[in-house]
Structures are given as structure tokens and as C-alpha cells.
Amino acid sequence: MENFLCGVMTLFKKGQVFAEENVNMAVDGVFLVVVLTLIVLIFMTAIDRDIDTLEIEQHTSVYRLFSSPNCFGYSDGDVFVPGVIDLTRFNEVTLNGCFSLPDGKRTGIELKLSYLDGTEIGFYEINKEVVSQKIRCGLENAEHDCLSTRKYVLVSDGGKLKKAILDIMVVNDIE
Amino acid sequence: MILNKKGVGFALPRVYSYLAVFFLLVIFALIFLTPFVIDEKEEKILLLGEISSKENVFVLNAYLNTPVSDSQSVSDLINLWLLDSSNEEELRTVSEEIFSGVYGSCYGLSLDDIELGNVGSDRVCIDYPNFGEMIEICLDISEYDEKLESGGVEECI
């Protein structure tokens, strides 16, 4: 240890400026590494974000029911009338075609359409296996998440518009 | 100005230069991290609000097209009210009948200065023409949906 210190001291005496610059460069190097590491960490923290798309998927499903011409929306001639349900299209075949969920599907939809006085018009489920898991929604550590909503709609029954209620439940697997 | 020995450039003590870099690093961290920490929830709410509001535009559209008699719809009643404010009572009655039948007491509807129920910040609004001007028709059914999900919807009916 003494020999080492003597060596350093000797170096300092003979080439003091050179030795100081070396020490400074070493300190600068360490500082630079620390700064660069922090920059990378900050940047990674900023971009490493979980995007929870579950609720958006659920609302998109509801939106599609109303907006897609492949679903049960009513068209007066060529004009699509939003908010009006064509009763002739409100059936299981149309609804399954409306969503045509791929294999490994994660979304189940339950629809109940009734008149304002409570008389039921129709009750359909898309992807029944997932919908049947709705009883677990809201439970702690549940593997499913549900969105329930009620929409006031009109139904076109033989060209006549009638007041109705559409109860929608969307059940999603949480991966 | 303090110059170095050769008279070229600044002679800044090393400690200060480190502090300056550290200070810049803190600013960098604030710029990059603060928006993500503070606005994460807000961004999500905005995005969801945007989608759910589009759903509820369909509800407003159904409301406007609702037949009141063989020749009249709610939008006709609104037009009559805009022409003559004495038609307000009929518009109120019809609107209450529609929405209370669906959402009980858990809804808010506003037509310009007419307000039924509580119209909160989750309202969805559309513009309705009024002789070259626009009035806003707003609907808020968020309270009903919240109670539907939490199992307390009986409180509304």
C-alpha cells in the first residue's frame, strides 16, 4: 500500500498536470456514466406504461351495436337512423354477424330489449360462455370485468316508432 | 467574466459544472415524468368519455325522434317551444315521461335553460338549430350507469 501511494505521489510530483487531468477525467467519466444511466432510466420509466384497453373495448362494443350497418340499426331508405333499432334485424343471426368474434374471443354481450312498459321484446347473448361468467364480475380477483348500461332507444315495428329500453352487459376476460 | 489560464472560455469550478448537469437532469426528469404521473388518470377518463359520449348521442337522437302524436315528435315540440316559450310545460312533461320511465330519477337533461334532474360533468351535448343560432341539448345518464354497475339501481326507480 505504501509503495502504491509512493508511486502515485511520485507521479504527481513528476507530471502533476498530467496526473490531475487523469483524475479529473476519471471523475468525469464516472459522472457521465451516472448521468447517462439516469437519462436512460427516466426515459424508460416514461415510455414503460401499461395501457388498459379493457373499458375502451367494452364501450366500443356498445358503440358498434348502434353505429354499424351490420348490426340492428334502422335505415330509412339509404339513410341510417342512429338510435333506432330495426326489429326485423334484432335477432341472434344478425347479432352474431354484427360481432363475428374471432377464436379465442374474450368478449361476451348480453342484450335485453323491452318496451317502455316493461314488455320484453327480445333477449340475446353473444358468446354465451363468457356471458355466463357475469356472476363473478365485481368479485375480488375476478377474471372477468363487466360493463352494464341502459340506453333509451326507439324500435321500428312495421315502420312505426315505439319507445324502448335496451339493457346491455358486456363481459370481458381479463388476460 | 472569469476566463481560464489561456484566456479562452469560462473557468467554471468543477463542482458547479456537476451541479449544473444535475440540475438539467432534474428538469429533464420533470419534463418527461410529470405528465405521465399527473395526467394518467385524466387521459383515460378523456378517452372513455369520448367513446361513451358517442354512445349517448344515439340516446339523444332517439329522444328527438320519439313520436308524441301521429304527426309530432319531440323535436317538433322543441321547435314549438323555441317559437313560443308557453309550450315549455308540454316539452317538460313529455321529456320527463320518457326519461323517468327509463332512468327513474337518475338522469339529467337540459335544453338551453330548461333543466330536468342533475346535469353533471359527464353530460353529452348536441347542438340544436334555433333560427341561425344553436342551443345545447345535454343528457347525463352517468349516475344511472354507475348505480347499475354497483347494484344500487333500485334507488333510481
What is the spatial distance between Cα A130 and Cα A132, in angstroms, rounded to a whole number?
5
Residue A68 forms contact with B (CB below 8 Å) = no
> Would the CB atoms of B61 and A83 count as touching at under 8 Å?
yes
Cα angle value A100/A106/A89 (rounded, 5°)? 30
Is the ipTM here above 0.95? no
Return the pLDDT at A2. Answer: 47
Q: Min CA distance, B134 vs chain A (Å)?
A: 21
Is A10's pLDDT higher than 50? no
Q: Min CA distance, A93 vs chain B (Å)?
A: 23
Q: Min CA distance, A170 vs chain B (Å)?
A: 11
Nearest Cα residue in chain B from A82: B58
Residue A52 forms contact with B (CB below 8 Å) = yes
Count of residues for chain A?
175
Return the pLDDT at B78. Answer: 94
What is the spatial distance between Cα B73 and Cα B64, in angstroms, rounded to a whole number?
7
pLDDT digits (tens, 9 = 90+) for B18-61: 888 888 888 888 887 776 665 555 555 555 666 666 788 889 99
Q: Spell out which residues of chain A touch residue B61, defining contact as CB-CB under 8 Å.
A: 81-84
Report which secondary-structure segment, H or E, holds A36. Answer: helix A16-47
